Amino acid sequence: MREASLVAFTLLTQAAAGTCGVLLALELRAERAGTSSALDTVALPLLAAALLAALLGLGASFLHLGSPRNAWRALRNVRTSWLSREVLLASLFTGALAAAVLLRLREGTPCFAAGFAEGFAGVVGVGLVMTMAGAYRLRTISAWDRASTPLAFFGSTLVLGMLAVAAALALQSPDAASGDCASRLLLGALAVLLAGLGATLFWLRRLGRERGAARETFERTAGESRRLVAARIVLTALAAGAGLAALAGPLAAWLVVAALVLAAAAETAGRVLFYEARVRSGL
């Protein structure tokens, strides 16, 4: 698929933004309750993993450019171009994550500067996902120019972020408090994942009921890409099964990790299907 670099860029950066955002929200809540010790243990590995994902995503985005050396020119139209805003916020987000990781490594314990960098990354991450959605709300591509696009992007962000934090907590031999937190994150992520599947099927159904380019997109996508739809359904079901199995008894870390991997695969199938809607329409 020729859009593989964009699939990697959007999903990896959304996973990084989701991980950072969920971790930040939990840290703020734990700080108010005075129970932040469990999160302090996993914060640095999670931020480092988010930074790696963001860097890989940025690297993948360069593969889509005809001339990577001219990538800096994308910043010239920040006032009018969603793409320019996306590039700017992706760079700021990655830089803030790198600062948060380096400050935590240098200080050994969380400090004000590291917390500020992490908070800044969390806020910019939300803006980054918003600009991604805005960049694809194109009037010339009917399948993308609808509310389902930002919902899908933020859904992926939440699913991957919540599952990443849940997996990190589960792998740390959690106590009762962190285990309960991981379980709640797992349940929330599965709910969003299943809702995302329903939204995808509803999106395809709406395309099938419309005329013109939308109808052509449905006919080609539902026909030639039906394996992607089937893969999204099967992988979502497997991820939900792994997650529910993890909750059936004492929290099983390997099942939480399996749910994360399967959910990431399901989101990948859904994102490929999203790009196929443009390619198959011929626009």
> Tell me, what's the pLDDT at 137?
87
> Tell me, what's the pLDDT at 32?
77
**Residue 28: inside a domain, yes or no?**
yes
Is residue 120 within 8 Å of residue 103, measured between CB atoms?
no
> Tell me, what's the pLDDT at 113?
86
More confident residue, 146 or 93: 93
- Residue 263, pLDDT > 50, answer yes
> Tell me, what's the pLDDT at 282?
47
**Residue 177: inside a domain, yes or no?**
no
In whole angstroms, give the CA distance from residue 25 to residue 172.
19
- Domain housing 106: 1-136
**Residue 148: inside a domain, yes or no?**
no
- pTM, rounded to two decimals: 0.90
**Residue 217: inside a domain, yes or no?**
no
- Residue 215, pLDDT > 70, answer no
Handedness of CA 141, 229, 204, 223 (dihedral sign): positive
More confident residue, 86 or 74: 86
Give the angle 97-101-106 at the CA atoms, nearest 5°.
145
Distances (CA, A) of 18 to 73, 85, 131, 232: 28, 19, 15, 20
Is residue 242 within 8 Å of residue 259, measured between CB atoms?
yes
**Residue 29: inside a domain, yes or no?**
yes
**Residue 115: inside a domain, yes or no?**
yes
> Tell me, what's the pLDDT at 280?
44
**Residue 183: inside a domain, yes or no?**
no
In whole angstroms, give the CA distance from residue 231 to residue 12.
20
Look up tokens 């129970």; give the residue. Answer: 35
Please report how the helices 253-281 and 226-247 are oriented relative to each other, as an axis angle in degrees rounded to 10: 160
**What mean pLDDT comes out for the span 206-214?**
72
**Residue 47: inside a domain, yes or no?**
yes
> Tell me, what's the pLDDT at 279?
47
- Residue 237, pLDDT > 80, answer yes
> Tell me, what's the pLDDT at 1?
55
**Number of domains present in the structure of the chain:** 1
Kindly indicate the confidence band of residue 220, based on its pLDDT and cuts at 50, 70 and 90: low
Is residue 175 within a helix (H) or strand (E), and if so which, with residue range?
none
Kindly indicate the confidence band of residue 210, based on its pLDDT and cuts at 50, 70 and 90: confident
More confident residue, 196 or 204: 196
More confident residue, 176 or 123: 123
Write the pLDDT tens digit of every residue in 10-43: 999 999 999 999 999 998 888 776 666 678 889 9
Choose among 188, 280, 183, 270: nearest CA to 233: 270
Write the pLDDT tens digit of every residue in 273-283: 898 887 444 44
Is residue 269 within a helix (H) or strand (E), and if so which, with residue range?
helix 253-281
- Residue 79, pLDDT > 80, answer no
Average pLDDT, rounded, for the chain: 86
Write the pLDDT tens digit of every residue in 98-152: 999 999 888 665 678 888 999 999 999 999 999 999 999 888 788 888 899 999 9
Among residues of the chain, what percentage have pLDDT more than 90?
53
